Amino acid sequence: MSQLYDSTFFKTTKLFELTDRIFLLSCGATMLSFDAVTGAPKGGSAVRGRAEAYIAAEAFKIAVSDEMRAAIEELEALENLDAITAAAVRQARREYDSRCKIPVHIMREFSELTTEANHVWEDAKVANDFKAFAPYLARIIDYNKTFIDYRGYTGVPYNTLLDDYELGMTTDKLDIFFGTLKNTIVPLLKRITEAEQIDDSFVTRYVPKDKQKAISELLMNKLGYDRNRGQLRESAHPFTTGFGSAETRITTHYYDQSFFYSMYSVIHETGHALYELGKMPEIASTMLDDGVSMGVHESQSRFYENVIGRSRAFWELIYDELIAILGDEWKGIPVESFYRAANKAEPSFIRTEADELTYSLHIMVRYEIEKAIFAGGVSVDELPELWNAKYKEYLGITPPTDTVGVLQDTHWSGGSFGYFPSYSLGNAYAAQILNTMNKEIDLEALIRADKISEITTWLGEKIHKFGKIKPPAQLFTDFTGEDLNAEHYVKYLNNKFEGLYNLK
Ligand code: ZN
């Protein structure tokens, strides 16, 4: 590995010792929560909950200790730090400040509120009863405004929350970003809804779980997911977790009449896992052994899911083996039909079920609403109406209930604001990566030749290996030669969907 990145000094520091203790505690907490949602018996949930709370409290004590402050200050006083130590100090300072600026008793109140709010939201969603959730949401928003008061902001208050998920992100940058998306996707979707529709009726055919599991194995093999450092399990909602490059696990969910669901969630989560597993050994099990931002993490999952997994080349690669698993009754469906069905675009209410084209419109609705909330431009009571008006404007449809409208996502009940835009940034980053990649390697040829591992190696060299060493904006400008922008993404969408729907 390059001489530029040497962790010998960092591993002798007090900062490493303290953060290593936090890392080891977090390994225990990660496995407890992973186990809880992948089949642990219910009987032990109380003691497991206590263990998780204890671990979190011990880690918090170290994180806000005088020892930690001294360890950071000691390194900040040194000049000419190597790249790994410098990045670790930057990261440690950021985490220390964000933890210490807000009084502990306020954080505890907030944590109790969101635990309760989450239960209330679950019931309110089922009952289509926004009024039951509204007072909790109002209090969660007030707490977030208080946090911003403690932490300060540049520009507008909402920027502080955006920065938590994507370092350096602001409403000024996102307004331009979403403006470009809106001007392209809204008219393109309109042309698509007026064009001849893609027939995807076969995707709801019954596929038993054992066959879907075999498909998952096929996909993980094609993508090169190392099962010696990873594992697939089942949970209600797919996700990725683990200990960074040492071990990263994924989950999926199987539906008898939607095998595309498990297929594309396995590809998506494998994308997250390949990023985690691809980091350089010098930073393994350190505080830099993590994805650099939510947006960049999502760029990797979406690159594998959409750019690779929804390509014609990928469908040609897996077609014979897929049909062998599905059985003879599927033989009559040509590969082109699978490819087209996997890329069908249409307006829908639910973000998590949205297709590649309309996905960012769902995010834009949430971004504009969150921005208005923190600018003081909208009250909680007005949210359902505002939500529905924006769906009508951008997607051309009006949610019939709040269950499939403003109540659909869990993020707000958990206290998270500023998170949603990273999903769209991930799509745009992925298109920007593709634009640079096309100048150096032949993506389609590699997929057809069953050499996806060479694509992963390329991504590893440009992105994965750095973990948190470089800030996200620098990571991208270093290898694409330009700042984040929406231009490549809208060009990619126009090209792909005009082709699919014969709009050219
Ligand atoms: Zn993801």
Return d(Cα 74, Cα 97) in angstroms, integer: 16
Check residue 3 and give its pLDDT.
59
Residue 65 CA to ligand 1 center (angstroms) comes to: 33
Per-residue pLDDT of the chain in tens (504 residues, 90 and over written 9): 445 899 999 999 999 999 999 999 999 999 999 998 999 998 998 899 899 889 988 999 999 999 999 999 999 999 999 999 999 999 999 999 988 998 888 988 998 899 899 999 999 999 999 999 999 999 999 999 999 999 999 999 999 999 999 999 999 999 999 999 999 999 999 999 999 999 999 999 999 999 999 999 999 999 999 999 999 999 989 999 999 999 999 999 999 999 999 999 999 999 999 999 999 999 999 999 999 999 999 999 999 999 999 999 999 999 999 999 999 999 999 999 999 999 999 999 999 989 999 999 999 999 999 999 999 989 999 999 999 999 999 999 999 999 999 999 999 999 999 999 999 999 999 999 999 999 999 999 999 999 999 999 999 999 999 999 999 999 999 999 998 889 999 999 999 999 999 998
DSSP 3-state assignment of 251?
strand
Measured in angstroms, how far is the CA atom of residue 321 from the centroid of ligand 1?
26
Determine the distance separating the centroid of ligand 1 and the alpha carbon of 70, expressed in angstroms: 36
Q: Say what the pLDDT of residue 191 is.
A: 95
How far from the centroid of its chain's Cα atoms is residue 311's Cα? 21
pLDDT at residue 49, rounded to an integer: 86
> Tokens in use for 434?
């593709």
What H or E segment, with its residue span, contains residue 232? strand 230-234
| From 17, 112, 247, 269, active-site residue | 269
Q: What confidence score (pLDDT) does residue 1 get?
A: 44
Helix axes 14-37, 83-100, angle to 10 degrees: 70
Q: Is 454 known to be catalytic?
A: no
Residue 422 alpha carbon to ligand 1 centre in Å: 10
The pLDDT of residue 2:
47
What whole-number distance in Å separates Cα of residue 80 and Cα of residue 97?
23
Q: In angstroms, rounded to a whole number, what is the distance separating the alpha carbons of residues 422 and 432? A: 15
> Which one-letter DSSP state was computed for residue 304?
I
How many A from CA of 207 to the centre of ligand 1?
25
CA–centroid distance, residue 298 to ligand 1 (Å): 5
R_g over Cα of the chain: 23
Q: Minimal CA–CA distance to 451: which of 294, 314, 292, 307?
A: 314
3-class DSSP assignment, residue 241: strand
Strands (DSSP E) along 118-215, which ranges? none
Scored b (16 or more CB within 10 A) or e, 315-344 reads bbbbbeebbebbeeeeeebebebbbbbbbb
Q: How far is the CA of 103 from the centre of ligand 1 (A)?
A: 32
Asked if residue 288 lies in contact with residue 159, where contact means CB atoms within 8 angstroms, the answer is: no
